[in-house]
Structure 1
Amino acid sequence: MIKKYGWPLLPALLLSTAAADSKIPLGEFSQNQLNGWEQKSFKGETRYHLQKLDGVTVLFADSHASGSGLFKDQVIDLEQTPILNWSWQIANRLPGLDEQSKAGDDYAARIYVVAKGGLAFWQTKAINYVWAGNSAKGRVWPNAYAGDHVMMLALRGPEAPLNSWQTEKRNVRADFKQLFGEDVRHIDAVAIMTDTDNSGRSVSAIYGDIWFSED
């Protein structure tokens, strides 16, 4: 059975290759576009939909005991554009979960970046940037299902305000180096997920545009 860590192991078509541009768009939600994003369900379906908020189109995610996400296959050259940019907010938290356990592997919001191992699928690595409900900002731990093939990094924790935009910039190449000790020069896919399939709870999040840049 494919679980949440299964995305990095899925074979994927090369949809597009990032050129050495200063900005590589992935999620152009403000343009009312979901081009190239596909939904994968692990248990039930989180509802993802584009809707205007304060005059700008954004991506809403509503999960009710469900675990599904949106993923996009796109090669990004981290030597040219290593910086991942996005904004997000959540409407409620998921308190009381042990996020290092399988039973607590639910998050109001998360973004995956995946470096695939090709035929050597066991060499696939992924980083999960998460909005944690119980783990402090900056905490790192291996995924409960995938072990040290997928590292979790809490960018926001229980101290972060609700219903308030938070803007993120991550040097993905540097993060792979720090978390895996490897110089990863490109990634192959990005995924978004808001999920509550393990806890059976409900949570909502909103995602703004997602793009890579030089700095």
Structure 2
Amino acid sequence: GSDGGEELGCGGKDRVEWAGGKHGVDGIYPFSSFSSATQRRIKQQYDQLVKSNQAKALTMAQVGEFANCLIEARNELQHKSEVIQRKFTITKALLFKADRSSFDRLCQQIYKLEAEQKRLEEDAVVYNRLQEQLKLSPAYKTMLEIGARMESKASSDENSGSIDSEFFDISFEELLAQEKKDSFWQKNGKLRSCAT
């Protein structure tokens, strides 16, 4: 590429293809809400991906960035889900023991949590749709193939002998026994204690 970074691809010299159609594999625009911060963040990356793909200028680096963006979104959605579930549990427990004065307030909190849960579910649907598009894209498949080749090359380099593999196969106890036999630990034929 022109930016000095190494870009790998399959569509041209260093370009890759996202998928058929303007909006990916299934042709469906994947976003449902612009009020969702998660969807807005993913949409920025996604729109750039689609634009580069249409210009036949999509790089592996962009696909990698998008994959990372989805990983961050997944982690965020999981965290939000855990927080909402915890709040539900606490609020329902409080509601069960509530007196009349706090009952209405707790009911409002439950409704608010249900609305948050619904928005989270919408974000999850969008995430799943994008994850599926990513998995089906020729660019992602190429990225996985390159990763697998690099991994197998690294493991074959490792096995070619620069590292003594026997050293890594030995247990701590076996290593300790070998060290105790070493002359450093011996003093007049007896085991030297650490505190002399």
Q: TM-score range by the shorter chain?
A: under 0.3
Larger radius of gyration: 2
- Which structure features the higher share of strand residues? 1
* TM-score, structure 2 normalization: 0.20
Instruction: Give TM-score scaled by structure 1 length.
Output: 0.18
Which one has the bigger helix percentage? Answer: 2
Of structures 1 and 2, the one with the larger relative CO (CA 8 A, separation 6+) is 1
